[in-house]
Chains A and B, each alone.
Chain A
Amino acid sequence: MATELTSTDIDTSDAVGEINKYNFRTKSTAVFKARKGIDAEIVHQISDMKDEPDWMRAFRLESLAIFESKPMPKWGGAIDIDFQDIFYYLKPTDHQGKTWDDVPAEIKDTFERLGIPEAERKYLSGVKAQFESEVVYGSLKEDLAEKGVIFTDTDTAVREHPDLLREYFGKIIPPHDNKFAALNSAVWSGGSFIYVPPGVKIDFPLQAYFRINAENMGQFERTLIIVDEGAQVHYVEGCTAPMYTSESLHSAVVEVIVKKNARCRYTTIQNWANNIYNLVTKRAFAYRDAVMEWVDGNLGSKLTMKYPAVYMMEPGARGEILSIAFSSKGQHQDAGAKLVHCAPNTTGQIISKSISKNGGRSSYRGLARVEKGAKNSKCNVVCDALILDAQSRSDTYPYIEISEQDVSVGHEASVSRIGEEQLFYLMCHGLSESEASTMIVNGFIEPLVKELPMEYAVEMNRLIQLQMEGSVG
């Protein structure tokens, strides 16, 4: 059972109080809080706090060295981060101590308009350290545990499932993959760990809410999902409520292994506050006849750079990526996908939809690569951009690398301004310009929304409506 900490439960001495960008008054008690900045001492402290095995400590330190040696990415948007001005580890209790009264009215109003249930609002706004998942999902969890499914936070998995975790951890996305993967590897905390045993099919979406650990909204979460042979899972991360964090950098790593004949779908809908750099590395390996699907919705943030990838490692593997980006004023979404065909008879599809409004910039950046020997592979990329006004911008950066003759690779891109004829048609039937635009935009992203679990789809539509009214973000 979750407990809710309020300001009355803790030391409210102002001396340790701190007001962050959103005027959430966060009050620290005498618990551990690493100082700002990143170096070996901080990494040691994190490892100490978590009481980690030596191998993980070594992994973190090695990653730190890689992080320090790596240049900033040369693609994507402008990143202006002072790495020494960030807290890399806050014990979860540091987030507690906010009360509902501390949450700004506009955020409460957004929750209201999104129709987020009361219990979740407090959790999402950081007032509660943890959603009362035990109460709501307790029986489901028991049911899953009986089937041998492991669903826990990654820190717990390091302690309780060390062998299983170690076999895959950092193997799909090694620290030297890119600067931010290295950073995450050095300072990661929280995230989900999921193992689905052979043949087990989970027929409802596993949601991040489900987790019982308080650290699941971390800045540097680390998720690892292993879907064993013939198994099936749908994992849903994030939600449409605006996510406010005290630090301006979110850098996650998500690794997924989909074994023979298995199937995994990973759905993300994120709506970051617009001061956040959201720099995430997501990659899946799909083995023989396995199917991996990423459904990735990006709203908000200052800059998002995220390209979920599927590496099709064995014959018959299939990768599907559905990506959507909505950028508004002061926002740059550099989002896309990667498909890498490493074996014959593999098939991949990328569908990307982006919307730019009010001076926002959306870029599609995608890779379609066919390795030598991946004969008879098929790869199809479709990206559609919708630009709502003359101030906004959309770019497409397709990277196509083909090392095999006998393949089929297609790329279609379209960019459209919101159709004046469509607006006129809808308005002639009594819809205001804003209602009509919202309807057109919702129609544009319908192919994605219909893939979402019901409650997310409803929230997504409401969120688009709010974005279109300009009252969010």
Chain B
Amino acid sequence: MTDILKISNLHVSIKGKPILKGVDLTIKKGETHALMGPNGSGKSTLGLVIMGHPGYEVTQGEIFLNETNVLELEPNERARAGIFMAFQRPIAVPGVKMADFLRHATTNVRNPDRKEGEDLIPMREFRKELKEKMNQLQMDAEFAKRYVNDGFSGGEMKRAEILQLAMLQPKFAILDETDSGLDADAVRLASQSIAEIGREKMGLLIITHHDKLLVHNPPDFTHVILGGRIVETGGKELAEELHSNGYDRIRREHPDAAADNDLYAKPKAEAEFAF
């Protein structure tokens, strides 16, 4: 059976303010989707809602992973079901070493029925695998001993997110602006890591306004989100067009969505991260 992540008519509010207004999106295993849109369009919100961020309220619609109603799951259950998101702004957890965090995370995701306090992946085995994946991303071994995202540079954070992707090997991965903050070399390495897992083995949703990741991972579908709605869907040529020409044509052709978008685009920080 092919894994399918299906989002239907999704409406989402934050503090009573609507952000997403009926999003439909279906991602199948092996497909790469690009989600593009100007600031404030709701791209990041979609990722956070798929993961179950408690600050958002789903007022209508559904998200299903195969037969499972994702909206009924806690974020950790979603992760264990095979959904992953590389955060746009990873959160620092001082005092917690990357290696410890990853060992718990990897164990839980690979062994979703594991009860708390039961065995973690054996240390030797885990270290070996972590080391391989870190080498691949050209990360220094010391990195595993650092505290999660604490004092990381922008590039380090993004590499760490890709490292998590590589370790967790999800069914569906959302990469939220993973390419911003990465230089060309790092984008290439990140893409190699994705290739290593095998694009054919997972569904990818790349949220971006660059084309860096898309060059290495040409999307099968490109969706344009504006004012909380997906207003256009095309192939990789749509991503190329947006990258070259921006959103002027989209705005012209979808004036209502553009007006909605501008309404919420201004207090960007608030719209995306105020809770």
User: What is A's interface to B at a CB cutoff of 8 Å?
Assistant: 419-422, 424-436, 439-440, 442-447, 465
For A440, the closest partner residue in chain B by CB is B93
Sample of 11 further A-B pairs with CB below 8 A, known A425-B87, A430-B104, A432-B74: A419-B91, A422-B93, A427-B74, A431-B105, A434-B116, A439-B93, A439-B100, A439-B101, A442-B95, A443-B96, A444-B95
Residues of B within 8 A of A435 (CB): 104, 108, 116
Assuming the contacts A427-B74, A433-B76, A435-B104, asked whether A422 and B116 have C-beta atoms less than 8 A apart, the reply is: no
Determine if B178 is an interface residue (Cβ-Cβ < 8 Å): no
Contact across chains for A443 and B79 when beta carbons are under 8 A apart: no
Residues of A within 8 A of B216 (CB): none
Contact across chains for A431 and B91 when beta carbons are under 8 A apart: no
Determine if B175 is an interface residue (Cβ-Cβ < 8 Å): no
Contact across chains for B80 and A430 when beta carbons are under 8 A apart: yes
Tell me the bound Cα distance from A434 to B115 in angstroms: 12
For B48, the closest partner residue in chain A by CB is A424
Residues of B within 8 A of A431 (CB): 76, 104-105, 108
Determine if B168 is an interface residue (Cβ-Cβ < 8 Å): yes
Residues of B within 8 A of A427 (CB): 52, 74-76, 79
CB distance from A386 to the nearest CB of B (A): 11
Tell me the bound Cα distance from A456 to B148 in angstroms: 24
Assuming the contacts A429-B164, A430-B108, asked whether A420 and B147 have C-beta atoms less than 8 A apart, the reply is: no
Assuming the contacts A434-B116, A435-B104, A443-B147, asked whether A428 and B75 have C-beta atoms less than 8 A apart, the reply is: yes
Determine if B267 is an interface residue (Cβ-Cβ < 8 Å): no
Determine if B90 is an interface residue (Cβ-Cβ < 8 Å): yes
Q: Can you list 9 residue pairs at the A/B interface with Cβ under 8 Å?
A: A420-B54, A420-B55, A426-B105, A427-B74, A428-B85, A428-B87, A431-B104, A447-B95, A465-B117
Tell me the bound Cα distance from A224 to B51 in angstroms: 57
Contact across chains for A433 and B91 when beta carbons are under 8 A apart: no
Q: What's the count of A-B pairs with C-beta under 8 Å?
A: 93
Q: Point out the residue from A420, A424, A440 that lies within 8 Å of B96, measured CB to CB.
A: A440
Assuming the contacts A420-B54, A431-B104, A432-B116, asked whether A426 and B93 have C-beta atoms less than 8 A apart, the reply is: yes
For A450, the closest partner residue in chain B by CB is B95
User: What is B's interface to A at a CB cutoff of 8 Å?
Assistant: 51-55, 74-76, 78-80, 84-85, 87, 90-96, 100-101, 104-105, 108-109, 112, 116-117, 147-148, 164, 168, 275
Assuming the contacts A420-B275, A424-B53, asked whether A439 and B87 have C-beta atoms less than 8 A apart, the reply is: no
Contact across chains for B147 and A428 when beta carbons are under 8 A apart: no
Residues of A within 8 A of B109 (CB): 429-430
Residues of A within 8 A of B78 (CB): 428
For B112, the closest partner residue in chain A by CB is A430
Tell me the bound Cα distance from A445 to B108 in angstroms: 24
CB distance from B249 to the nearest CB of A (A): 35
Tell me the bound Cα distance from A427 to B91 in angstroms: 12
Assuming the contacts A420-B54, A424-B53, A435-B116, asked whether A445 and B95 have C-beta atoms less than 8 A apart, the reply is: yes
Residues of A within 8 A of B84 (CB): 428-429
Residues of A within 8 A of B94 (CB): 443-444, 446
Residues of B within 8 A of A447 (CB): 95
Tell me the bound Cα distance from A218 to B137 in angstroms: 57
Assuming the contacts A430-B105, A431-B105, A443-B147, asked whether A424 and B95 have C-beta atoms less than 8 A apart, the reply is: no
Tell me the bound Cα distance from A431 to B120 in angstroms: 12
Residues of B within 8 A of A440 (CB): 93, 96
CB distance from B273 to the nearest CB of A (A): 8
CB distance from B275 to the nearest CB of A (A): 7
**Most chain B CB within a 10 A radius of its CB, from A420, A430, A447:** A430
Tell me the bound Cα distance from A433 to B79 in angstroms: 13
CB distance from B148 to the nearest CB of A (A): 8
Residues of B within 8 A of A422 (CB): 91-93
CB distance from A355 to the nearest CB of B (A): 12
For B89, the closest partner residue in chain A by CB is A421
Tell me the bound Cα distance from A420 to B51 in angstroms: 14
Tell me the bound Cα distance from A424 to B75 in angstroms: 7
Contact across chains for A439 and B147 when beta carbons are under 8 A apart: no
Residues of A within 8 A of B90 (CB): 425
CB distance from B194 to the nearest CB of A (A): 18
CB distance from A281 to the nearest CB of B (A): 31
**Most chain A CB within a 10 A radius of its CB, from B52, B54, B96, B117:** B96
Contact across chains for B104 and A439 when beta carbons are under 8 A apart: yes
Assuming the contacts A427-B74, A430-B76, asked whether A443 and B93 have C-beta atoms less than 8 A apart, the reply is: yes
